[in-house]
Every structure is written in structure tokens, then in C-alpha cells.
Amino acid sequence: MIKISVLIANKHSTSISLEEEFYAELLTIASNRNMSLNQLITEIDANRTSPNLSSAVRLYILNYYKQKSAAPK
């Protein structure tokens, strides 16, 4: 488990705890979307339904790959 410091909407500093595997996938998704990690976390934070940001990030990663695998090829 690693703790990551992030800046949400360029004004709110917080940290999230993620397993290394989730962190690696989060970085991959941010890169694929041409976003910074802070931009992606800001988007996840704005759209989350989970009260816990770390959980929301994990769910975002899961849904990202579920949608990607369901997309027509």
C-alpha cells in the first residue's frame, strides 16, 4: 500500500492510499487520456458516489477496464 499526495482542482491537497498495482494502472490511464494524475483524480472526485476517495479511484479503474473490454473491436 502506498500513500499518494494529490491536488484536487488545483486548490485542495489530500492523499489517497492505493495498492501499487492500482497506482500503476491509474498512471497508465492518466497517460492514455493525456492527463496529469491530479487532473484525473479531480475528475474522479467530481463524479464519485463513494464517500471515500481511495475507493472511488479503485472503482474508477475497474469501470475503465470493464468499459474498455466491452468496447467493440
Phi, psi of 6, rounded to the nearest 5 degrees: -135, 160
Predicted confidence (pLDDT) at residue 71 exceeds the cutoff of 80: no
C-alpha distance from residue 66 to each of 10, 21, 61, 62, 70 (Å): 29, 16, 9, 6, 6
pLDDT in tens, 13-60: 999 999 999 999 999 999 999 999 999 999 999 999 989 999 999 999
Instruction: List the domain boundaries for the chain.
Output: 2-70
* Band of residue 73 on the pLDDT scale cut at 50, 70, 90: low
Higher pLDDT, 60 or 11: 60
Mean pLDDT of 4-18: 91
Please give the pLDDT value at position 68.
83
CA 8 to chain CA mean position, Å: 12
Q: Where are the alpha helices (DSSP H) in 1-73?
A: 20-32, 37-47, 53-70
